[in-house]
Amino acid sequence: MTPEMAIDLFKNVITFSLYMVAPFLGVMLVVGLITSLVQSVTSIQEQTLTFAPKLVALAILCIALGPWVIRSLSDFAIRTIGLMGTMGH
């Protein structure tokens, strides 16, 4: 494997991982901001109020995006394993 191939593979892995976690991070960011806004407006400083909505949103998101995540991960794995055959030369 040449250094260029290794760098390209590393770049693909990093890009793909960011692509996979972006929806989850975005939703958690929005839910956290909304929860913080509600807490500051109502002056309620309960710790479970910040945790529970994020947990519920993550569970719903995992159910909704589960098939997409599994399909994308399997496609990426198949593509990467198929690429391994050409890297030995």
Helix then strand then coil, % of the chain, to nearest 5: 90, 0, 10
Q: Is residue 89 part of a domain?
A: no
- Integer CA distances (angstroms), 7 to 13, 14, 20, 21, 54, in order: 10, 11, 20, 21, 36
**10, HSE (Cβ side, Cα atoms, 13 Å):** 7
In the predicted model, is pLDDT for residue 89 greater than 70?
A: no
* pLDDT tens-digit series, residues 15-52: 999 999 999 999 999 999 999 999 889 888 887 888 89
In the predicted model, is pLDDT for residue 1 greater than 80?
A: no
**Domain residue limits at 9:** 3-36+45-84
Q: Is residue 73 part of a domain?
A: yes
Cβ-Cβ contacts under 8 Å for 88 (sequence gap 6 or more): 1
pLDDT exceeding 70 applies to what percent of the chain?
98
Query: Residue 36 is encoded by which pair of tokens?
Result: 């913080």
d(CA 32, CA 52): 10
Lowest mean pLDDT of 2-6, 15-19, 39-43, 58-62, name the range.
2-6
pLDDT at site 4: 85
Q: Is residue 66 part of a domain?
A: yes
Report the number of distinct structural domains present in the chain: 1
